[in-house]
Structure formats: structure tokens, C-alpha cells
A = this chain, B = another copy of it.
Amino acid sequence: MDQVAEAAGVSRATVSRVINGAPSVDAKIREMVQRAIADTGYVPNVAARSLVTRRSNSVALVISEPDRPDNHSFLNRIFTDPYFGRITAGATSALRPHDIHLVVIPTDSTDHHQVVRYLRQGHVDGVLLISSHEQDTLPRQVHDLGIPAVVSARPTSPIAVSYVDVDQRLGARLAAEHLLNRGCRTLATISGPLDIPSGLDRLDGFRAFLSTRGFPSVPTIEGDFTRAGGEAMARRLLAQHPNIDGLFVANDLMAEGALRALQDLGRRVPDDIAVVGFDDSSAALDCRPLLTTVRQPVEEMAAEMAEVLMAHIATPGRLPRSVTFQPSLVIRNSA
């Protein structure tokens, strides 16, 4: 920077002003400085800058998953699930125009403390926290840290933190309504893990609506949000309840597996049994027949999380606020 200042015949302070686009700089001087910058190939040092500005221009995307028995493939599952991919894509697209970068940090409870330490060290200006499971303590820990944060779903315990969510119960209701409208009368559902709020909410919403329509009880089986799980659960469900004619599966990945099981079992979809998924992820288009599903605008939601986070970063005292997106039904061929 001294080089630039010397080359332009000004002080370092002026160089700094030009770089940061301060309005109070003479046009000619600005020009000279810019030329000097180009000539010297000067690049500001970000460490020095953030030392004084206390900004890093990056945010963390923390993906907090529950510990599962088969934990060895933890990273693999995360980075292969299209849901997280959509989150990453949405967040990236919102952050990029602001020149803010994304540090991706997958975690389970065994290394919460590492994550907390990382956040405390000021590596990032804020956190996008993807946390789905009920007993996850990370949202609270992050909140206590006082660092700007936005969570991907309504926290289970009441924490004063901003979050972005979709109306899960409404989504499940849309599915139920559609199945009834088609004429299905023997309904069942493969739920998500019930220690995950979205899993629970979708199940609740589905049941709650059906009970108002005269279906007080609905055969239910708990799945794990994976394709293989959906296939296995569909098999089990149909073994127990062979005459089901309408099935709500709590995410598309499981629905894809379920369709496969139904095909193997010789059930025609949607004629013998109609199937509705949840997400409208790319998996819905990989299904045969194409999957009718509840659309959750994940990319937009992630982008909104990023926007809210940037607002928090810009205005430290800002009160938390939550944004809820409306789901919609995407009718294709499976129901």
C-alpha cells in the first residue's frame, strides 16, 4: 500500500479511501491512485483489514446432523442429499452479489465444541445454521455466543433467533387433500424421523387434517429420509396393510424408494395406489411415474436466510424475525 501511495504521490490514508470508495476523494486523485494500484498490482490484505474492521466477509454454513448408528458415512450422506445441495446453492446465490463467501461446516454432536470455538474466533461474520433434529443443542449454543445467526427451521425450544421455515403442516394438508380429492379412501403415510421437527410436523399435519375429514387413525410407519429407507418402509407398510390406495411419503427421496417397492410388488401407481411426496427436489423428476409432491422452495428459503443474516450483520441490535414460506402442490403422475 505504501508503494501505491508513493507511486500516486498521496498518503496511505487516501489510497485506503479510494479502495473503499469513500465519496470524499478528488476525482483526479482517485484516478491517479487507481492507476497506481493497477501498475503496482496491489491487492489489499484481508487479514489486516478484518483486524481493524472486525469483518471477515464470510459466513459459515453449519450443517448439524444427529448422531446416527451408521455414522461413518456421515459426510457422505450430507453432501449427497439434494436437500443440502439446494441449501448451498440458494445461500451461495444470495451471498455472491455481496462478495460474501461461504465456509461449509458439517457437524454432529461430537464436535459441537470445535464449531463453537471456530465461531468464537471470529472467522465468520455470521452463521447459517441448518439444524433439523429436536435435541440439537447447537442453536442454543450459537445463540448464547451472540454471533448473528439464522436457523433453518423453527427452533423446538423458544430461542430468540431468526429462522426461515416452510409451513410444514400446511404442506402435509395439501397432500392429504389431494389424495382425498382423487378418491383415495385407505390412506397411510411414511413419516420422517420423529425426532426431527419437520418429520413430526408433516405427520401431525397429515393426521390432523384427515381426522377432520373422518379418518381418525392412519397407518403410519417411521422412515429415515433416505431412498433405501423409503423402499424398505413401503414394503413393510404394504405387508401390514395390503389395501392402501393413497400414500403420503414425507420426502421425495423416500418416495422414490417407495415407488420402486410398489413397482416390485406389482402395484400400479397411481391406479392401484396414489403416492405424494414432499420437497419437489430433483429426485421427484427421477421417479417413474413422475412424482406428485409438495413443493418446498428450498433455494429461495436458503437465499432468504442469507438475506436475513446479512441484515443482522449490518444492524447488530436487530430483533430476530422469522419468515415462513408457503408450500404448494406440484401435480405430476404419481397421484
Task: Point out residues on A near B: beta carbons under 8 Å.
Answer: 43-48, 50-51, 54, 56, 58, 75-76, 78-80, 82, 84-86, 88-89, 92-93, 99, 101-106, 114, 117-118, 120-123, 227-228, 256, 260, 282, 285-286, 288, 299
**Interface pair B101/A118, CB less than 8 Å apart:** yes
Contact of A93 among B43, B75, B82 (CB under 8 A): B75
**Interface pair B80/A86, CB less than 8 Å apart:** yes
CA of A148 to CA of B21 in the docked complex: distance in angstroms? 31
Contact of A78 among B44, B47, B89, B121 (CB under 8 A): B89
Contact of A85 among B51, B85, B99, B282 (CB under 8 A): B85
Known: A48-B51, A103-B102. A85 touches B80 (CB 8 A): yes
Contact of A89 among B45, B75, B288 (CB under 8 A): B75
Secondary structure class of chain A's binding surface, majority of residues: helix
CA of A200 to CA of B43 in the docked complex: distance in angstroms? 39
B-side contacts of A80, CB under 8 Å? 82, 85-86, 89, 282
Smallest Cβ-Cβ distance to A74: which chain B residue: B89
CA of A75 to CA of B95 in the docked complex: distance in angstroms? 13
A51 CB to nearest B CB, Å = 4
Smallest Cβ-Cβ distance to A54: which chain B residue: B47
CA of A84 to CA of B48 in the docked complex: distance in angstroms? 33
CA of A104 to CA of B88 in the docked complex: distance in angstroms? 9
B-side contacts of A103, CB under 8 Å? 58, 101-104
A230 CB to nearest B CB, Å = 11
B-side contacts of A50, CB under 8 Å? 47
Known: A46-B123, A51-B45, A58-B103. A85 touches B92 (CB 8 A): no
**Interface pair B105/A101, CB less than 8 Å apart:** yes
A116 CB to nearest B CB, Å = 10
